[in-house]
Structures are given as structure tokens and as C-alpha cells.
Amino acid sequence: MADRIRVARIGAAHGIRGDVKLWSFTEDPMAVASYGPLETEDGARRFEIETVRPGKNFLVARIAGVVDRDAAEKLVNLDLFVPRDRLPPIEDADTYYHADLIGMAVVDEDGTALGTVSAIHNFGAGDLIEIAPAGGGEPLLMPFTDATVPKIDMAARRIVVVPPIASG
């Protein structure tokens, strides 16, 4: 399991006073400000969210020390993480952190190996699961829905997928 969990990504500057667009990956988007300082993946840089408010399809955040648009623009596309121990414990068997899925085996309904989970993405239209094929080649992207991903077995580190049928 990952010891750092990605909880947000900084987007474009918002206005001229250093605010940034912020995409939260937490169940409650506003909770991202309550986990204490956020860090880069390597832990080398830390960021304190001073204020956060809803925007249109994103949050608007003010980060301590970022006082103008130029400083905000230097942070675009920066992923922010927290140490896992700062996050609430998982109490529901059907709940998990996306980071825990990375590296899990992916099989179809018959148990045929398809590959491993390499990422979970969200480009604005819902989560997508990225699978690195077992035999190599281009990654597969599938909707991360109950229909396409009907079973996640955390103990066995295995995910069952039902690939969507291509129409054409």
C-alpha cells in the first residue's frame, strides 16, 4: 500500500492574487484543506492551504506564500499528497484509496489475466482505470464503473473487469 496518497492537483492560476484552481481527489472535495500541509510526491516541497472555496467544476484555493499570479502559474499541474496516516481509516469493505489499486492484477470474468492496474484517471467525465496489458503494448483505458469493474478483491490484490463491447 502506498504511504503517500495523492489528494489534489493544482491547476491554472485563478485571478491575479495568487489563487489557484484545485482539483480535489478526496471523497468530500472541501476536506482536502483539513489534512494539514500537502506535499509533493517526494516530500521535498510542502504547501499549506489557507482558504478554499467552490468554483465551477473545481475548487479555488489560496496557498500560503503564493501571493501573485506569477507564483501561482509556477505550480500548474503539481500533484499534492499527504502521508496515508493523516487520512481517515477505511471502514467499508467496498471503499479503498485509488493508490491501493495500482499494481493489482486485472483478470476478466473467466480469470484470464489481462494485465495490471497502472493508474486511475479522471479527465472530467468520470474515473477511468488504466491497465498495462500482460503481454505488453498500449495501455487499456476502461470506465471505472460497477458494470466494467464488478469486483475488487483487496486481499487477493485482484480486480475483475468486464470490457465494454465495442460498437461499430
Domain membership flag for residue 92: no
Domain membership flag for residue 168: no
78 and 102 part of one domain: no
75 and 129 part of one domain: no
In angstroms, how far is CA 100 from the centroid of its own chain? 11
34 and 107 part of one domain: no
Residue 122 confidence (pLDDT) = 72
Which tens digit of pLDDT belongs to each residue from 63-97? 999 999 999 999 999 999 998 888 877 777 777 88
Residue type at 154 in one-letter notation = M
116 and 68 part of one domain: no
User: Is a pLDDT exceeding 90 seen at residue 114?
Assistant: yes
In the block, which residue shows the cell 491547476? 11
User: Is a pLDDT exceeding 90 seen at residue 138?
Assistant: yes
Average pLDDT, integer, range 111-123: 88
Question: Quick check: helix, strand or coil at residue 69?
Answer: helix
- Residues of the chain above pLDDT 90, percent: 60
**Residue 80 is part of a domain; what is its CATH number?**
2.40.30.60
Average pLDDT, integer, range 114-137: 86
**Residue 109 is part of a domain; what is its CATH number?**
2.30.30.240
Q: How does 112-151 read in b/e, with b if 16+ C-beta sit within 10 Å?
A: eebbbbbebeeeeeeebbbbbeeeeeeebebebeeeebee
63 and 11 part of one domain: yes
81 and 9 part of one domain: yes
Total domains present in the chain: 2
Domain membership flag for residue 34: yes
Rounded Cα–Cα distance for residues 142 and 35 (Å): 31
Q: Helix, strand, coil proportions of the chain in percent (round to 5)?
A: 10, 40, 50
Domain membership flag for residue 166: no
User: Is a pLDDT exceeding 70 seen at residue 124?
Assistant: no
Rounded Cα–Cα distance for residues 69 and 73 (Å): 6
Q: Which domain holds residue 22?
A: 4-85
Residue 99 confidence (pLDDT) = 82
Last residue within a domain, chosen from 64, 85, 106: 85
User: Is a pLDDT exceeding 80 seen at residue 125?
Assistant: no
Last residue within a domain, chosen from 85, 117, 147: 85
61 and 24 part of one domain: yes
Last residue within a domain, chosen from 27, 56, 85: 85
119 and 63 part of one domain: no
What does residue 44 show for φ and ψ, rounded to 5 degrees? -75, -30
